[in-house]
Each structure stands twice: as C-alpha cells, then as structure tokens.
Amino acid sequence: MPKIISCYTYRFRNMALLSLILLFSGSMMAEENVVAVVHYGTPVTTPISRIRLSSIFSMRLTTWSDGSAIKVFVLPDDNPLNSSFCKQILKLFPHQLRYAWDRLVYSGTGQAPVILSSTQEMENKIANTPGAIGYLPKEKKDDNVAILLVE
Amino acid sequence: MTMLLFSLWNSPTVTLRRNHPSNCEQWNCPPARKVHVCNFISQVLASKIVLIFCISLSTPINCKAIELFDSVQIHGFASQAMFLSSGNGMFTDNKSNPNFEFTELGINGSWYATPNLRLSMQVLSRRAGRWDNGSPVIDFGLMDYSFNLDSTYRVGIRAGRVRQPYGLYNDTRDVAFTRPSILLPQSIYLEGARDLTISGDGLILYGESTKPWGNLTLELFGGYPRTESINNQFQAVFGYSGVLESNPSFVGRFNYETYNGRLRFALTGAYTTATASKSVPSPNGLVTFAPMIFSAQYTTEKWTLTSEYDFDFFKGENLGLPGFPINPDFNYFGQKYYFQAAYRFNPQWELMARYDAMYPNSHDQSGYQASIKSKGVSPDYSHYAKTMTVGLRWDITSTMMIRAEYNYINGTAWLPVQGVPTGVFGISDNNQTSKYWDLFGLQVSIRF
C-alpha cells in the first residue's frame, strides 16, 4: 500500500513540475521581444492604450495631445521586428498596416510612416526627432529614447 | 512642390540629377538610394515594360518614398499589362494577341504645411486603348484640413480635386498594388463609368471615431465628377458628336471596421447626373446614375474574403436625335455583385478567385427585351456579363510585384467601348463581339 501511495505522489510531483515548466515556457513564448519608443519629452503618458497606439501607426491619429505633429518611424515590411511589433503589440497583421498606408498615400488622404533600414537608424531618429515614435528590440538598453508601455 | 512635380513630368529624358546637380544632396537620404530614385523616375516615364523590369531589379529591396525635407513625401507607381484574348480585344478592337494597351503611371506629393493642414497632388498618366492615350492629368490636387477633437474623434474637410468615396477599391483604383487583380471587379468598378466615379472637383466633409468597439468613418462628397475620357468616346457611345458635362453630384460613404481591422463593412450611396449637349440643335440629354453599394471584407493572416453588392438606378433621357430609327433612352434598375477570396499562402504569394455578375437591367437579365428594343443593334449578351476569375500574385520585393490572371466571361456588358469594333456612323457595333470569351492577363508593377 505505501508503495502505491508513494508512486502516486511521485507521479503528481512529476505532473506538477511538468505543468510548471509548460506554464513557464508558455509565458516565455508570449513575452514580447519588441517595445514602442518615443522621443524624450513627447507629450504622452505611459502606458498608452492599444487602440491609440494602433491609430498612430495606422496614421489616423496625426497629432499629440498638445497639437504637435506625430512623426512615425517603422522598419521595412519584411523585417522580423516589424512583424513582431504588428502582431504582438498592435495585434494587427503587417499586410493590414501596409494596405492602410497605401490607401492614404495614393488617394491623397494622408501620409505613410518613414521607413528606416535598421534598428540603429531607428534609435538615432527617435532620439533626435521631436514628436517621434517607433519601436526597438526589448533587450536594447538605451537611455536616449523613452519606452512606451501598452495597456 | 507643384513645380517640382511638373518639371519631373515634363522632362522625361532629363534626370533630376543632371538638371540640378545639388538637388539630390539636399534630400535627406543616403546617396545610393538617391541615384536609384532619380534613375527610376526618368526611366519609368519612358513607359516600357522592359525598363520597368530592369529598374526594379536595380532598385534596393526596401526602396523608400522620397523625403525632400521634413513633412514632405513623394510616392509613385508604374504598371504595364499584357492581355491575350480568345474573343474580344481588351482596350482595343484590334484582336491581335498579345496587346500591351494598358499602362498606368502616377506620381504624387504630399506636404504637411502645419500639423493640421496638408496639401496633396497626384499626376496620372493612363493608357487604355484609343481614348485614354496617356497624357498626364491631375488625378487629385487638394487641401486637407483636419483636427483631432481628442484622441478618439477626428473631423476634417478636403477641398479641390478629391477622390470620391466609393466602395472598397475606388480610392486607389489605379495602383495595381492595392487591387485584387489586374482588372477590378467590373460589376462595381465599371471601366466605362470610371470618369464619373474616380475624382471630382468639390468638397469632402469627413468625420472619424475610434473606440474599443471599432472605427467609424463618414465621408460626404459634393461636387462635379470628371468626364474627360468619356468625352473622347462620346461619338462611339452616343452615335453623334457632343459633350457630356457633369452636374453637381453627391456621394456618401459610411465605413465601419472592428478595432483589429479584421472585419470591415461599408455602405456607399451616390447621386450623379450629367448633361449631354449635342452638336446639332436638339434638346439636351440627361444621364442619371444613383447606386447603393454594400461592401464587406473579412481578413485574417492568410485569407481575405470580399464581397460587394450594388443596386442602382440608371436612366438616360433625350439621348436620341430627331429622325433616329431607334430611341436609345433607357430606365434601368441594375443589380451587380461579386464574391472574392484571396489566399496568401506565403507573405509574398497570393491566390485569388472571384465570381462577378453584372445585370445592368435586373428586370431583363437575359437582355432579350433590350435586344428587341434595339432592333438587333445590341445583342442580348451585351446586356449582361458573368465573369469567373482566378489569379496568382507574387510580390517579389515590397516595391515590385508581378501577377497573372485568367478570366472566363459570358456576355459583354462590361467590355470597354474601346474593345467594341466600330460600325456605321462611327458607332460601336456590338454584333461584332463574342458572347463567350477567355481573357488572360499578365502585369508587372512597381511603386515607391
């Protein structure tokens, strides 16, 4: 009898350990590797709502709360970080954003974001352009830009 | 900026770089890209399919818009199509295969003068057979003043030559990248009615609200639609010479999309009238077109399902001449729709299938009555069209795309008048067209 009990206990322990590992790896997978960043001194409070951030990157919302212009910077469509930012942070597909920008640009109803070629260029632009917003890899510890968390 | 656009346009053989040696250096972009963009503009204007290929291959993979300085952007596009047809010529009544009659070139500039005031202009050169000969026209040229009431509401006004808010695809209908196929679904985006629906001279008032439950946009247009290329075809359409002039017309579009943009619905209503002044003494003709369009689109990462349904009132009065044997006046309630599925099995590849049906007079779907009334001048099959399309699109880079498509068509209701052979008195002779026909198309397109 005691043998059987210990066997069950052992199994239970194993399952608990397994589920802990699963939970941990699950949360690892869900964790974002990209973060929204703005120029220091931009009139926006963190955290920002996802809807507002989407409006900014869809180029629908074009001014900050003080009336100054929002300057949106992005990486190329096929850059993995662009894809991560769209899917993880904005919860949109990259092709949806591209279609939204094309509609604005080729119908005279708006402008597209400025496309930069590297994260280094992104960092420089955000650090040096008032009103700028973009995104950077999360692990990048950079004091030149302000991180914008999403609700 | 306007001057710059025109100078680009009017000097196809002189590149910006040669013209203004210092110009590229003033642009806020690294040298390699500048050279490509300069070459690109000058050579695209030469409008040859081979050139489009060569230049695209030499452009960097992530070619960007030109930023002259802060808050100014310049974008452009170029497309060349090739058609093979088993029956009716596409954009040409010369049935020789293949034909290269369809070319689209455009360049636009946009400038934020202040954070709330934007100026935009696009010049378009479109070649589509005999009457659209590619001469550059101002496609839109407008002033847009908008402001955010708070982060969720925006209102604004656009004035000048503005794009009419019409269905899902009209806003960018000349940009191949934004279309689902080489030819838009003709039931809703009829080539023959392109002028009247594309852009107009007038005003648009708009408002937008973004909330957790979705985005609502309302746009109202009032102004004069354009008739330039219809007037080039006037003789072929009406059988006598004259001029079609638009009257004040109205278009409204109400658009709803879910917060994540997966689901989109639009409702468009329009009321457009145009007066046909004849060159001979006779009362003026009047054409009235009032469509109501329901649009729906569902998007996932791989699928885009789209459908649009149009119910319209289309009336022509006093269009004949005294002594004409046939009265060309009509009074139609039309019914037009399509179902379309696009599948992106890879971010660069897309398969598309569509069924498109067009009955200009829903009370006479077989065209029998219209054929009798015309005394055989227009056969029954010229009063409807049913089209099945399959297509494949390959986005080679984000700035270059190539696509192929096959259409099987029963009827000629949407066949552009350029494709109808001319009979007596210069009038299009629909009896010389084929009822069943296959149309294969290939298209190369670039943009920046």
Chain A residues with CB under 8 Å of B302 CB are none
Task: With CB atoms and an 8 Å threshold, state whether A54 touches B140.
Answer: no
Measure Cα distances from B387 to B91, B354, B429, B434 in Å: 17, 8, 22, 14
pLDDT tens, N- to C-terminus, chain B (448 residues): 333 333 333 333 333 333 333 333 333 434 333 334 334 333 433 344 444 444 444 444 444 566 656 789 999 999 999 999 998 888 887 777 899 999 999 999 999 999 999 999 999 999 998 778 899 999 999 999 998 888 789 999 999 999 999 999 999 999 999 999 999 999 999 988 888 899 999 999 999 999 989 999 999 999 999 988 888 888 877 878 889 999 999 999 999 999 889 999 999 999 999 999 988 888 899 999 999 999 999 999 999 999 999 999 999 998 888 877 778 889 999 999 999 999 999 989 999 999 999 999 999 999 999 899 888 888 999 999 999 999 999 999 989 999 999 999 999 999 988 888 877 766 778 888 899 999 999 999 999 9
Distance from CA of A51 to the nearest CA of B (A): 7
- As a three-state string, the secondary structure of chain B is CHHHHHHHHHCCCCCHHHHCCCHHHHCCCCHHHHHHHHHHHHHHCCCCHHHHHHHHHHCCCCCCCECCCCCEEEEEEEEEEEEEECCCCCCCCCCCCCEEEEEEEEEEEEEECCCCEEEEEEEEEEEECCCEECCCEEEEEEEEEEEECCCCEEEEEEEEEEECCCCCCHHHCCCHHHCCCCCCCCCCCCHHHHHHHCEEEEEEEEEEEEECCEEEEEEEEEEEECCHHHHHCHHHHHCCCEEEEECCEEEEEEEEECCCCCEEEEEEEEEEEEEEEECCCCCCEEEEEEEEEEEEEEECCCEEEEEEEEEEEEEEECCCCCCCCCCCCEEEEEEEEEEEEEEEEECCEEEEEEEEEEECCHHHCCCHHHHHHCCCCCCHHHHCEEEEEEEEEEEEECCEEEEEEEEEEEECCCCCHHHCCECHHHCECHHHCCCEEEEEEEEEEEEC
Residue in chain B lying closest to A64 (CA):
B151
Of B148, B152, B212, the CB nearest to A63: B148
The arrangement of strands across the sheet holding A145-148 comes to A114-115, A71-74, A132-137, A34-39, A145-148
Distance from CA of A91 to the nearest CA of B (A): 7
Task: With CB atoms and an 8 Å threshold, state whether B208 touches A62.
Answer: no
Chain B residues with CB under 8 Å of A114 CB are 64-65, 67
Task: With CB atoms and an 8 Å threshold, state whether B73 touches A111.
Answer: yes
A-B CB pairs within 8 A amount to 111
Chain B residues with CB under 8 Å of A102 CB are 172, 175, 177-178
**Residue A93: what pLDDT?**
93
Task: With CB atoms and an 8 Å threshold, state whether B158 touches A109.
Answer: yes
Task: With CB atoms and an 8 Å threshold, state whether B75 touches A112.
Answer: yes
Residue B395: which domain range? 2-447
Count of structural domains within chain B = 1
Task: With CB atoms and an 8 Å threshold, state whether A106 touches B106.
Answer: yes
Residues from A contacting B (CB-CB < 8 Å) are 51-52, 54-55, 60-63, 65, 67-69, 76-78, 91-96, 98-100, 102-103, 105-112, 114-115, 117
Of B110, B116, B215, the CB nearest to A111: B110
Distance from CA of B172 to the nearest CA of A (A): 6
As a whole number of angstroms, the distance between CA B26 and CA B72 comes to 13
**Residue B38: what pLDDT?**
39
Task: With CB atoms and an 8 Å threshold, state whether A111 touches B147.
Answer: no
Task: With CB atoms and an 8 Å threshold, state whether A108 touches B142.
Answer: yes
Q: Specify the CATH number for the domain of residue B227.
A: 2.40.160.10
Chain B residues with CB under 8 Å of A113 CB are none
